Structure 1
Amino acid sequence: MRFNGTGELIDAHEYPATRDELVSAYGDQTIELQNGTETIADVLGRLGPETYETADDARTALTSAVSHRAIGRRFYSDRDPTMLSEDGPTPVSF
């Protein structure tokens, strides 16, 4: 995920700030995701009314509310157990 300069804008904003204030100020800024882009308005719009006390709080909200386009293969996990009908990896003893 790349903030494309949005991180600096978020850091320079005066806090505390509400979600609506950040959307009003930076809502059209684009964040690059692995499989597309989203605007700050899209991302923060998924969250309820919130007041961010610091820039770190706002960044955390942004990184936690991005859509599935921010991940690689959706529904993939290399930690799921092997199904009974599948051949799994060869166990290794350390």
Structure 2
Amino acid sequence: MRLNGTGELLSGHEYPATSGELIDAYGDTLIEHQDGSESLGAVLGRTGAETFDSANEAYETLQAGVGHEAVGRRYYSDRDAPSVGENGPDPVSF
């Protein structure tokens, strides 16, 4: 998944840096995905207060923190059955 050049943006920042510092510097930057967009600040805000030692660490946190709208069909897997206690949509055959 690509996040609209945020990797390059974060690479230009001095580390270590806190999530608050990154939000202050780049929080209004929009991350666009297939079902809309969200701000970098909103994504980092969900992860809580963290200190990043590198741009790569901050970028990986962004990738893990984007909303479900950015990752395709929810609950879709063509390989795995639902886990015990998990309720997903009914299987659909294409």
- TM-score above 0.5: yes
- Name the SS of the counterpart of 2:47 in structure 1: coil
Matched, 1:55 2:55: yes
Which string of whole-angstrom CA distances, capped at 9 and with x for unpartnered residues, describes residues 17-69 of structure 1? 00000000000001111211111011001111100000000000100000001
CA RMSD of aligned residues (A): 1.8
- The answer (yes or no) to whether the contact 2:6–2:59 under 8 Å persists in 1 is no
Which structure: larger Rg? 1
Report percent identity of matched pairs.
55
Which ranges of structure 2 fall in alignment gaps of 5 or more residues?
82-90
Q: Which residue number in structure 1 is paired with residue 33 of structure 2? A: 33
Which ranges of structure 1 fall in alignment gaps of 5 or more residues?
89-94
Paired positions, count: 83
Paired AA for residue 8 in structure 1: E
Paired AA for residue 45 in structure 1: G
- Name the SS of the counterpart of 1:46 in structure 2: helix
Q: Cα distance, 1:80 vs. partner?
A: 2.8
Q: Cα distance, 1:8 vs. partner?
A: 1.5
